[in-house]
Amino acid sequence: MKKNSVRPIHIIAVILVLIASAVWTYNGIITETITVSYIVDAVMLILILILILGNKDKTKRSVDHDNYMNWITEGSITDYNKLTVSISDLEDLVNLAVDLGKRVIHDIKLGKYFVLAEDMTYIYTPGLTIPLLNSKQQLGKLLIDRGTITQGQLDTALFYQKRIGCKLGEALMALSFIDETVLYSSLAAQQRIDYYELDTQKEVTDTSWLAKMSVNKAQALQALPLGFREDGKRAVACGETAKAGIEIALQEILGSEIYVVAASPSCIYEILEKIKNRDKPLRKFAEILQNHKVEACERISEMEWEQFISVYNNGKIDVNIFLKATGIVDPVFIAQVPDNNASINWLIGKNVINGQIVNLMTTLNKLIHKQDRETRQSKLIPDLLDLLEESYYITGETADWVYEKSEEQDELTIQLLKNNYCVAEETIDCALLMLGSLNNLLNKPKIF
């Protein structure tokens, strides 16, 4: 139920209007001075406008407040952490509070809304516009200057924005004039920071940051730590890079110097959701990558090993036996596969393996098929760069650069790929696991 609050400015405005009306009447009757009458009219008009606009602003704020009353507690904030993050609107603050399991505190005296977390304070101040950009150049002008949209499209989006009540970027996307990549890369360009295109299917981040920041908090801040750069800074992809205090807050939380790159908020959210909601088979796969002690040939029987070698000599990989040997897929799932020729589709449909495994597995099979019989009999397997390049994780130029820099040293190759964010760390680990397992099956068969 809405509460009708009367602000002091309204009372003052009404009193002044009444006084002005009395003066106007008095002047009209007694002095009939035209000049005075015009002045009084102007004063009355200004006061009425103040009254109307003030009431409109109050109404909007009241509606916002009433919409989220279930999450708001009236209170008084006497002291709060020095480390603060300003939030652009009440809805975002409420969503953040829900993510963190907190309540929004409305301090009527200060006229602000707070969410008090353990290590920082989030504040929404009604009427305070948080600048999205440090530069004066606006989004619409930048997009026109780049030839991305026309003036007519901008005018249409501005009209749509006004009618619907959304941000300009959202209006442009809703009208299909731009996509999310164009929007956030343009915003990044305005702020003179890099834009990092996240691939929700292939991008797997280092999750060591979870020891310092929960997934819920990362979602509230729209931040995804990517890893450490060669200069020692931690690269973090952010959906709202212009949010006041975000860089300082992340630096405080993660305990290291931050290098912020812009990214699509929806991609960040999707990747964080996957980290949060990984099912048991995919968690098992992550554990295997971290602690792979059992040799591939020890995971399968003698008959399975002989079948694998026979198929391999003919230029193919027996997918079921190979996945079982790597430890990526539990034998229980392998036994449930109804059709060996369509095992990959069945396993990915059951969410036992992900697209990354399918991509690397399929490419490895193709590379083996391309080899001549003599190469296969020599038990020479593809190298890491070949597998990553053929899987389209890196370009030929990147492969050549890494090859030249590493001088054929495997450890340096891996380090260059990881440190320079050429390929996600887990992608490299998965590729190495597959290549290592294949090498073990070919060169170190179990003596039965």
What CATH number did the domain enclosing 252 receive?
A: 3.30.300.160
Band of residue 438 on the pLDDT scale cut at 50, 70, 90: very high
Mean predicted confidence (pLDDT) in 15-37? 54
Is there a single domain that holds both residue 107 and residue 146?
no
Token look-up 């971290």 returns 290
Q: Which of 257, 203, 249 is nearest to 223 (CA)?
A: 249
Is there a single domain that holds both residue 15 and residue 146?
no
Mean predicted confidence (pLDDT) in 325-348? 80
Distance CA 10, CA 50 (A): 8
Do you know the residue count of the chain?
448
Report yes or no on 2 lying in a domain.
Answer: no
Is there a single domain that holds both residue 413 and residue 291?
yes
Scanning 337-395, the segments in alpha helix (DSSP H) are 343-349, 355-370, 373-377, 384-390
Band of residue 19 on the pLDDT scale cut at 50, 70, 90: low
Q: Which of 190, 65, 204, 196 is nearest to 138 (CA)?
A: 190
Q: Are 369 and 315 in contact (CB under 8 A)?
A: yes
Is there a single domain that holds both residue 293 and residue 263?
no
pLDDT at 4 over 50: no
Report yes or no on 133 lying in a domain.
Answer: no
Q: Is 92 exposed, middle or buried (0-12, 13-18, 19+ CB in 10 A)?
A: middle
Mean predicted confidence (pLDDT) in 23-51? 55
Report yes or no on 115 lying in a domain.
Answer: yes
pLDDT of amino acid 385: 92
Count of the separate structural domains present in the chain: 5
Is there a single domain that holds both residue 422 and residue 335?
yes
Is there a single domain that holds both residue 150 and residue 265?
no
Report yes or no on 199 lying in a domain.
Answer: no
Q: Note the pTM of the prediction, 2 decimals.
A: 0.42
Query: Domain residues for 355?
Result: 280-443
pLDDT at 435 over 90: yes
Is there a single domain that holds both residue 350 and residue 299?
yes
When computed from its CA atoms, the radius of gyration of the chain, rounded to whole angstroms, is 31
DSSP H or E run through 114: strand 112-116
Distance CA 50, CA 56 (A): 10
Is there a single domain that holds both residue 314 and residue 344?
yes
Is there a single domain that holds both residue 431 and residue 293?
yes
Band of residue 434 on the pLDDT scale cut at 50, 70, 90: very high
Report yes or no on 226 lying in a domain.
Answer: yes
Least confidently predicted of 92-96, 182-186, 260-264: 92-96
Neighbouring CB atoms inside 10 A of 406's CB total 17
Is there a single domain that holds both residue 262 and residue 347?
no
pLDDT of amino acid 286: 54
pLDDT of amino acid 317: 92
Band of residue 175 on the pLDDT scale cut at 50, 70, 90: confident
Mean predicted confidence (pLDDT) in 20-31? 53
Residue-wise pLDDT for 353-394, tens only, equals 877 888 888 899 999 999 988 888 888 899 999 999 888 888
The pair of structure tokens assigned to 313 is: 């000599």
Is there a single domain that holds both residue 108 and residue 148?
no
Report yes or no on 432 lying in a domain.
Answer: yes
* Highest mean predicted confidence (pLDDT) among 112-121, 200-209, 265-274, 378-387: 378-387
Mean predicted confidence (pLDDT) in 105-131? 78
Mean predicted confidence (pLDDT) in 305-318? 92
Report yes or no on 39 lying in a domain.
Answer: yes
Q: Which of 198, 338, 206 is nearest to 265 (CA)?
A: 198
Band of residue 211 on the pLDDT scale cut at 50, 70, 90: confident
Report yes or no on 246 lying in a domain.
Answer: yes
